[in-house]
Each structure stands twice: as structure tokens, then as C-alpha cells.
Chain A
């Protein structure tokens, strides 16, 4: 969403430039120097500010980690980190091996499976608890008992319970999203305007139709919120689960056991730049998947753009 906003802000300002009030040919516009004009056209856009922020961050990081080498001044904590130049080097190093991509793919697949199943099971389950007092009375107490258990606490049980490490990791990832999706669905469905249900009944809708055609779309905004949060949690959970369980199928074959396993393995092997590559990879993957969920929810809810 922030990327969208940035792009929109940029476009608006550029459009502003071509408007009669700010066109270069207008009085005042032509008298400005090239630098001022440049600054006016791009210098203040959010995109440029974002790039500046990134550059400053990377430069600061590079200097802080290299200061010991250059001037003999050791910056506390930061001096132990690899500088970004080594990380870039490690990145290209990893790119060649294929293990990085294999790890990224494995983590991505686990997240998507866990998240997908959590949505497929969690949404109907949440809606059912919202519409049926009996179902809620039966299901909600055990649900609330299980919900506070951190997904990582499930890892040993999941390893015992599921036949393959792959399924254990995916299961734990599923749990990460499941509770969030359900709680948002129940909350959203219970808060929808009751008049929508009455209006539908008044127009002759059956209970089944109301469930699919009224309850579901009316709850969609809350489900979307749950999905964005849930997606974030699955990435956190998958990494920890991979670290604990030894990378699932890939871990034993050495073909790369997910980004979490890659980080842990690199740490154990002392390849700190590789640890940072894995971390950045996770940041990018998490950002991309949350953005994908947001874009999808905007597509599914065109009416939200209209209001």
C-alpha cells in the first residue's frame, strides 16, 4: 500500500508541474536555476526520499563496519557485522550455488501452503462460529485455549505428529496464520450491519445464500486485515520452524532447507555475510507477499476504492 501511495504522490506532483500554475514557461518558472528545477521536479517526491533513506542507511552501515579497518576505531556492536559490500559479494556468491534459490523456494512454498490452508479452513470456520451460537459455544473455548500457544511451541509436537519434517514445518506455518485469520473473521462477521442480513431475508434469501452472498462479502474487509497480518506471521514462523527442525527435506539432502535453515547453517559455519543475505531475502519475500495480499484484497473489494 505504501508503494502505491508513493507512486500516487509522485504522479500528483509531476502532474502539478505541468499544470498552468507551475509550467516551466510560466513567469517565475524560467528564472529558476537548473538545480532548483531538478529539485522541484523530482527532489521532493516520496520515492526519492525513500532512495535517500536507503542510501544513507547503507553508507552508515558500510562506514560503521569498516571504521575499525580504516581508522582503528571500533564501533560498538556494529563492528562485528559484515559490511554491505561483503553482503553483496556473498549474495552473488550464493546466487551461483543454487542453494539460495532452492531455500527461498522452499520457504516460499511452505508459507504459501500454510497460509493457503489457513485461509481455506479459517474463513469458513470463523464464519460458522459467527453465525451459529451452538458452534461457537462448542468450538470457541478450545480455540481460545490453543490460540495463545506460540506456533514455535508446537514444533516438537508437530515433528512427532506429522510423518515428514516438511509437513511439520508447513503445519506450524499454518498455525501462525490460522488463529489470526479465524479471530479476524469471527470479529468481522459478528460486527457486520445486521440490517444487511434482514434486508437479504426480506428479499427472500435462504440461509445458505445469506452465508455466501451477504456474510462473506460483508466480512471481507476484516478477513483481508487478518490475511495481511497472518501473512506476516507465517514468514516469522517458517524461519524459526526451519531452524529448529533442521530444514525439513532439503536440510538432510544439502540442497538448501529454507531461508531459516540457510541462516542458521551459515551462522554455524561462520559465514556471517550469508546470514545477512538470508535476512535480507526474508525481508524482501515478506514485503512482496504482504503487498501481494494487499493488491489481491483491493482487487476483491473494488467498492472500497469507491468510498
Chain B
């Protein structure tokens, strides 16, 4: 219980008035403008918005892959980036799960999973392997220890990647459209699998998607982003109890919430589409 409480207290993210201006050819393009989000520790927060609205820019800023132009981002009250420190230092407290996956093809599943703890010097290889095996059982991956990523299905590979991120004991897991490009059936299995993992870990999940159903099914809170320059248009609390399974999808409560998010996203998608057309004309 104490351990759970200690974990609960980690992973609060505060994004305050963050802007990111790309200026490669002196044509300032605001990807994100004056964007603020508060994420409670242990929350599964979904950012939903049209393509190119700056979702990934925000995630990269938290991860420390990109700098921000103004504003501040805090993790558990500590400044990650802000005035005087435009770019956060990447670290294992905020591990990223990438679009299309980034498992190391040259390492077996087990060695992929133990990679983080071993290179950080946090665990000996054998110890890390034991932890990894436990987590693999939890994620339904036992038996795949010695397989290479090239031998896995996309769903299995993504599960391995989530486990690889979790063994680092992060405060926040940053998932950038983790199920993009999967067929609907695999995706629905993966959604349940992700929720199962989330329910067991209670780490803060920061998930990016443009799939509204996915957003509402997974999220405790869904923040809809405007089209570029991205800022938060609306934050919708998803008051559907956990654990959730696919039967939630057909309930009135779920449909109602989806309607709300769709309304918000659709407007923005329309704007993005028209803006795109103007650019072409």
C-alpha cells in the first residue's frame, strides 16, 4: 500500500503556457502556442487532435528531444524545461514508446527489455532479467524471451516495447500514437492489453492519438488540441470506471462522451483541412 501510494505521488506533469516556434527559414511557424495542461500523478491522459496540431511536439518537449520557445514544463514540481533551460534532459523517468515501435532489432526480446536498467547501472544483468521475466508474464509475453523483434507480430512488438519502457520504473510513460497502422481487431486487443498494464502499474500515461474512440476508451481525461498552432481547446473527463473492457464501447455513457470529443475534434479537423487547401491554392 505504501509502495502504491509512493508511486501514486509520482508522475504529475504541469505544462504551462508552452509555445514552440519553428523558424528554419525565418518564416516563424508556431507548432504549439500558449498551451497549458495539468496532468495528475497516475492519470492516463490522452491528447487528441488533427494531424500536424503539435501533439508530438509537446511529447518531444517533455521527453527532452526538442526545445521549447517559451513557457515551462514541470514534472512533480521540478522544472524540466523553461526559461534558461529550453530543452529538458532525456531521462528514464520519462520513457517514450514510439509510433511504429523502436525495439532494437539486433537484441532479443529479453535483452531489449533489460536494456534500460542495465545501461543505467541500476541492476545487474541477471537481476534485470528476473524483473523482465515477471513483467513479461504480466503482459502475456512469456515464451518470447529469446525471439528477435523481427519475429513478432506488430501487437506483440508493441507490448514488448511498453514492457521495455516500464522496467525503467518511469514516472511517466509517453506513448506517441502507439497503435497507429494496426488493424482494428489487433488495435482493440491492444487497447485492453494497455489498460490492463496501466491498471497494474498506475504510472502516469501520456498518450497521443487522433483516434477519438481510442482516446475515450483509454483515457481518464482527454484533451482536444486545436489545429496549428496547437493549444488545448477542451479537456474532457472520462468518468467511466476501471477496469474497462470492450463492452464499455457500446454503452450510452461512452457514446455520449465520444460525441463530445468528436464535436471538438471535428471542428479542428475541418479547419486543418481548409487550411491545407488554402496552402495548396
Contacts and interface: CB of A to CB of B under 8 A. Distances in A.
The 9 closest A-B pairs by CB, nearest first: A307-B150, A195-B102, A203-B116, A204-B92, A306-B148, A217-B106, A199-B102, A303-B148, A201-B90
Contacts of A195: 98, 100, 102
Contact of B104 (A217, A301, A306, A307): A217
B35 interface: no
B94 A202 contact: yes
Interface string B96-117: 1010101011110000000110
Contacts, number: 72
A202 B147 contact: no
Contact of A213 (B64, B92, B119, B151): B119
A109 interface: no
B266 to A, nearest CB: 31
Interface residues of A, number: 23
Given A201-B64, A203-B116, A220-B106, 17 more contacts: A195-B102, A196-B104, A198-B98, A198-B102, A199-B96, A201-B65, A202-B92, A203-B92, A203-B165, A205-B119, A206-B119, A217-B106, A218-B106, A303-B148, A303-B150, A307-B148, A307-B151
Interface string B143-157: 000011111000000
Nearest to A213: B119
A39 B115 CA distance: 53
Contacts of B100: 195
Interface residues of B, number: 28
B186 interface: no
A8 B45 CA distance: 53
A301 B106 contact: yes
B113 to A, nearest CB: 11
Given A199-B96, A303-B150, A204 B102 contact: no
**Residues of A contacting B: mostly:** helix
21 contacts: A193-B102, A195-B98, A196-B102, A198-B90, A198-B98, A198-B102, A199-B102, A201-B64, A201-B90, A203-B120, A203-B164, A203-B165, A204-B91, A204-B168, A206-B119, A217-B107, A220-B106, A303-B107, A303-B149, A303-B150, A306-B147
Contacts of A200: 115, 119
Nearest to A306: B148
Contacts of B120: 203-204
Contacts of B90: 198, 201-202, 204
A200 B91 CA distance: 10
**Residues of B contacting A: mostly:** loop
Nearest to B98: A195
A279 interface: no
B95 interface: yes
Contacts of A196: 102, 104
Nearest to A203: B116
Nearest to A214: B104
A2 to B, nearest CB: 23
